[in-house]
Amino acid sequence: MSNLLLTILIFSQIIPERIVIQPGDSVKILSPDVKAKRISVIPPTIGYVKNGYFYATKPGEGVIKIKLKNNKKKLYSFVKVTRNIKLLKIRVVPQNVQLGMSDSVRFYVRLPDGTNEEQCFVSWHVIPAWIGKISINGQFIAGKRSGRGKVVAIVKCRNRRGIGFSTVTVGENSSIKEIKIIPDPVYITNGQTMDLHIKPEITGLDSFDWIVEPRMIGFINDMQQFVPLKRRARGVVWFTGWKGSKVYVGKALVIIGSRKSLIRIEKYVIRPGDSCRLVVNPPSRIFRRFRKSSLRNFISWSVEPEWLGRFTNPFKFPATIFVAGDKPGVGEILIKLNERELNISRTPIIVGKEELKINPSSVVMKLGEEVRFTVTPKRPGIWHVIPSVAGEIDGNGLFKAELPVRNVFIIYEVKTSEGGGAIAHVTILPEPENN
How many helices (H) and strands (E) the chain has is answered by 2, 46
Residue 6 pLDDT: 37
Query: How far apart are the C-alpha atoms of 246 and 248, rounded to whole Å?
Result: 7
- Domains in the chain with CATH codes: 3-81 (2.60.40.1380), 87-170 (2.60.40.10), 175-256 (2.60.40.10), 354-435 (2.60.40.10)
pLDDT tens digit sequence for 257-277: 765 567 888 889 999 999 999
Residue positions counted in the chain: 435
- Looking at the chain, the whole-number percentage of residues with pLDDT higher than 70 is 87
Residue 4 pLDDT: 37
pLDDT tens digit sequence for 385-412: 988 878 899 999 999 988 777 788 999 9
Cite the DSSP H helix spans in 340-379. none
- Asked if omega into 380 is within 30° of 0 (cis), the reply is no
Question: Is-contact 254 185, C-beta < 8 A?
Answer: yes
Question: Is-contact 121 115, C-beta < 8 A?
Answer: no
Residue 37 pLDDT: 82
pLDDT tens digit sequence for 159-209: 678 888 898 988 766 677 889 998 888 888 767 788 899 999 888 888 888
Stretch (H or E) spanning 4: helix 3-12
Local structure of 307: helix, strand or coil: helix
Residue 213 pLDDT: 80
Query: How far apart are the C-alpha atoms of 320 and 334, rounded to whole Å?
Result: 12
Residue 344 pLDDT: 66
Under-50 pLDDT residues of the chain: 1-12, 432-435
